[in-house]
């Protein structure tokens, strides 16, 4: 089922800008993903499959409580390995298997405060005409050989995204283990402006480092110039 947007947030915990995102996705058996999801959630599916995503992008100006975003500490390259989940309340979201970022302080804060599996990496995100290239080499914690190199060629705008494009990108929350419970962190953002994209280069071991080795070409490759995002307070269940 295609996710639908929740009710608008009533308060803002923090804000982020997500820019120049490449969405690479592999269709997999839900049984492969289920052991990697937190208690109380199950793999979200479309046409009998769930997906493993590799998403490199540029984070822009993380801000807190409505204050202006941080220009340096809040802006960095990032690459996520993510999964798709739904809980008993029907809330659809993502689960992060790993999050590479090239700013150490935000990595430490996210690991120790938010309990998200961020890792410190040496990264670059560059543009050359219609090409977007993203590279990452993990630094801490290991394995230090975990890396990725992704290049996509941005194509035409998708005027009316189909069910699969919406399933993979229209996610208004994340599930994560937090203080012995499974927390749901809602977010709010405009509908994604999506483009078709051609995969030019892919050499990655981040999915394998997350225990989800992907082989072969992705089943879906998309690009978005990005959106601005608000996160509300998290909620939890036992």
Classified as helix, coil or strand, 171 is: coil
Query: Residue 150 corresponds to which tokens in the numbers above?
Result: 């992704």
- Residue 110's φ and ψ, nearest 5 degrees, are -65, -35
pLDDT at 237 over 60: no
Buried b (16+ CB within 10 A) or exposed e, 78-94: bbbbbbbbbbeeebbbb
Mean pLDDT is lowest, of 6-15, 30-39, 77-86, 112-121, for 6-15
Query: In this predicted structure, what is the pLDDT of residue 77?
Result: 96
The CATH class for the domain spanning 14-227 reads: mainly beta
- The Cβ of residue 200 has, within 10 Å, a number of other Cβ atoms equal to 13
pLDDT at 35 over 70: yes
Query: In this predicted structure, what is the pLDDT of residue 38?
Result: 96
Domain chopping of the chain, boundaries:
14-227
* For the chain, percent of residues with pLDDT exceeding 90: 76
**Which of these, 23, 18, 60, 53, lies nearest to 154 by C-alpha position?**
23
pLDDT at 44 over 90: yes
**How far is the C-alpha of 172 from the C-alpha of 161, rounded, in Å?**
17
| Mean pLDDT value across residues 7-23 | 87
SS3 sequence of 209-233: HCCCCCCCCCCEEEEEEEEEEEECC
> What is the pLDDT confidence band of residue 142, given thresholds at 50, 70 and 90?
confident
**Which of these, 157, 142, 149, 238, lies nearest to 197 by C-alpha position?**
157
> What is the pLDDT confidence band of residue 238, given thresholds at 50, 70 and 90?
very low
Mean pLDDT is lowest, of 12-26, 67-81, 172-186, 190-204, for 67-81
> What is the pLDDT confidence band of residue 3, given thresholds at 50, 70 and 90?
low
Provide the whole-model pTM. 0.93
Query: Residue 59 corresponds to which tokens in the numbers above?
Result: 């984070």
**How far is the C-alpha of 30 from the C-alpha of 233, rounded, in Å?**
29
């Amino acid at each position: 089922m295609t996710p639908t947007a929740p009710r608008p947030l009533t308060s803002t915990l923090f804000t982020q800008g997500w820019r120049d995102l490449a969405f690479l996705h592999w269709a997999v058996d839900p049984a492969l993903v289920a052991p990697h999801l937190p208690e109380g959630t199950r793999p979200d599916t479309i046409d009998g499959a769930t997906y493993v995503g590799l998403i490199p992008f540029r984070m822009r100006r993380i801000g807190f409580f409505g204050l202006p975003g941080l220009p340096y500490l809040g802006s960095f390259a990032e690459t996520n390995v993510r999964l798709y989940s739904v809980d008993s309340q029907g809330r659809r979201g993502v689960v992060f298997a790993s999050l590479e970022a090239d700013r150490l302080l935000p990595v430490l804060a996210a690991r120790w405060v938010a309990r998200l599996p961020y890792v410190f990496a040496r990264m670059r995100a560059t543009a050359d005409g219609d090409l977007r290239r993203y590279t990452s080499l993990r630094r801490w914690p290991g394995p230090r050989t975990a890396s990725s190199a992704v290049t996509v060629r941005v194509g035409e705008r998708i005027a009316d995204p189909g069910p699969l494009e919406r399933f993979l990108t229209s996610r208004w929350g994340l599930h994560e283990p937090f203080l012995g419970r499974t927390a749901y962190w809602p977010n709010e953002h405009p509908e994604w402006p999506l483009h078709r994209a051609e995969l030019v280069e892919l050499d990655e071991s981040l999915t394998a480092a997350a225990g989800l080795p992907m082989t072969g070409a992705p089943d879906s490759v998309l690009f978005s110039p990005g959106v601005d995002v608000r996160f509300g307070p998290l909620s939890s269940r036992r």
